[in-house]
Structure 1
Amino acid sequence: MALQEDLNTFMAGVRTQLPAEVLAPVERFYAELDKPDRFPYLLHIGERAPMFTLPDATGKIVSTEALLAKGPLVISFYRGAWCPFCNLELRALQTALPEILALGATLIAISPEKPDYAMPLIERESLAFPVLSDLGNKVARSFGLVYTLEGEARRISLDTFGTDLPKFNGDDSWELPVPATFVLERNGKARLVFFDPEFRNRVDPALILSTLRDLQQACV
């Protein structure tokens, strides 16, 4: 089953368990995020990505400059270990990891969560790629991905789902990155950009692999 089918199946189960008055305000909030020009600083295909360094769950510093020196780089921004849609995506990326590595690329995942919350996720999902902590969403902001969870959507997120972002992220901003995936060429330019403010939609790993194969062919 493709990743998006898994995500849709999960959401169908959620709809059977939660009343419309809970889901409707959340869906209205994310529909507002999908308006044109809502994310004017989003990194686009062909643009050079900002370089950065971030710590992984063990405190080791990971540098995009060093990773790109080895080959293409796949960057997955996710909301946090509390997000079941993110967990499904990370699980799918882990399944695709051997092929990603075989194509000469590196995979990293980034969230604004503190490392304390990343380590249980890594262990639970048996993730074999770096999971980095972007405290304050500084890197996500440089990619043009950041929004603030507000109003009824914030209240429902906290009261109904127990998503205490200040606790998880270590600040009171209630900021999150739109889940997004970038494939960077060795020169740092974006070859693939998947960005959708509807957080239940994620890139299929097959598209990532297809992009990496195209890059490999171009280098032959």
Structure 2
Amino acid sequence: MKKITIVLTLLVSMNTFAQINSEHLEIGDDAPIITGVDQFDNKINSTDLLKDNKIILIFYRGNWCPHCRKHLKTLEENLDALTEKGYAIVVVTPEKVEKTKETTKKLGSTFSILHDVDNSIMNNYKVAFEVNEKSVPNYFSATQKKLAEYNIENNNVLPVPATYIIDKTGKIEFVHYDPDYSKRFDVTELLD
């Protein structure tokens, strides 16, 4: 009976993520330049940040996602230690600007959150996927409602919740990319 349960679980998991493209940027690739305005109205440019820091780049779906909130809370709790180790933090989301401000207020976040205006950052890093019944078969209706509330009108795109670390030369030195939205990179591993 256990074997049947395990097989069924694997098949459901494979079906859930089968439509999300697993092609993404890899270690050693050039990191696309990131530009935008964060929730504090600061202009962010990765070229400038890389002069003095490595960048931890995190893509999240929205503050409607409990896994995202937990991940960002852990990030904020460890922000000082990460900064001391020479990391600048940039978080990217398709959420509207007002929702990024809500996230900041709700979580007490002090790191930069960029609203990906035209999904260009997500597309450049190859983490964007269209939310449809094939890519999100189990929660399509609920996810569609959240996108209508949190993303700009007619934007039914989400990122795979990925983490990239970019070194000072502009190369990707670490990638965590997992279509399973519940699996995130634990930033505390960088502190060991």
Q: Does the Cα contact within 8 Å between 2:131 and 2:144 map onto a contact in 1?
A: no
- Equivalent in the alignment of 2:17: 31
- Equivalent in the alignment of 1:203: 185
Q: Does the Cα contact within 8 Å between 2:16 and 2:137 map onto a contact in 1?
A: no
TM normalised by structure 2 equals 0.85
Moved more, 162-171 or 105-114: 162-171
2:91 equivalent to 1:109 = yes
Deviation at 1:154, TM superposition (A): 6.8
Once residues 138 and 47 of structure 1 are traced to their aligned partners in structure 2, the CA distance between those partners, rounded to angstroms, is 17
Once residues 104 and 183 of structure 1 are traced to their aligned partners in structure 2, the CA distance between those partners, rounded to angstroms, is 12
> RMSD between aligned alpha carbons?
2.5
Structure with more helix by fraction: 1
Please show how residues 64-79 of structure 1 align to structure 2 within 5 Å: 64-79=46-61
Runs of 4+ that moved beyond 6 A: none
- Equivalent in the alignment of 1:193: 175
Q: Does the Cα contact within 8 Å between 1:134 and 1:140 map onto a contact in 2?
A: yes
Once residues 63 and 190 of structure 2 are traced to their aligned partners in structure 1, the CA distance between those partners, rounded to angstroms, is 22
Unmatched segments (≥5 aa) in structure 2:
1-11
Deviation at 1:117, TM superposition (A): 0.2
2:159 equivalent to 1:177 = yes
Q: Does the Cα contact within 8 Å between 2:61 and 2:159 map onto a contact in 1?
A: yes
Pick the aligned partner of 2:129 from 127, 131, 147. Answer: 147
Query: How many correspondences in the alignment?
Result: 183
Once residues 118 and 138 of structure 2 are traced to their aligned partners in structure 1, the CA distance between those partners, rounded to angstroms, is 21
Q: Does the Cα contact within 8 Å between 2:57 and 2:165 map onto a contact in 1?
A: yes
Q: Deviations over 1:119-153 (max 9, x none)?
A: 11111111111111102321011001111111274
Once residues 155 and 115 of structure 2 are traced to their aligned partners in structure 1, the CA distance between those partners, rounded to angstroms, is 16
Q: Does the Cα contact within 8 Å between 1:137 and 1:146 map onto a contact in 2?
A: yes
TM normalised by structure 1 equals 0.75
Give the secondary structure class of the aligned counterpart of 1:94: helix
Please show how residues 61-140 of structure 1 align to structure 2 within 5 Å: 61-140=43-122
Taking only the aligned residue pairs, the percentage that are identical comes to 25
- Equivalent in the alignment of 1:45: 27
Once residues 70 and 137 of structure 1 are traced to their aligned partners in structure 2, the CA distance between those partners, rounded to angstroms, is 27
Unmatched segments (≥5 aa) in structure 1:
1-25, 211-220
Once residues 161 and 39 of structure 2 are traced to their aligned partners in structure 1, the CA distance between those partners, rounded to angstroms, is 19
Letter in 1 for 2:18: E
Give the secondary structure class of the aligned counterpart of 1:110: strand
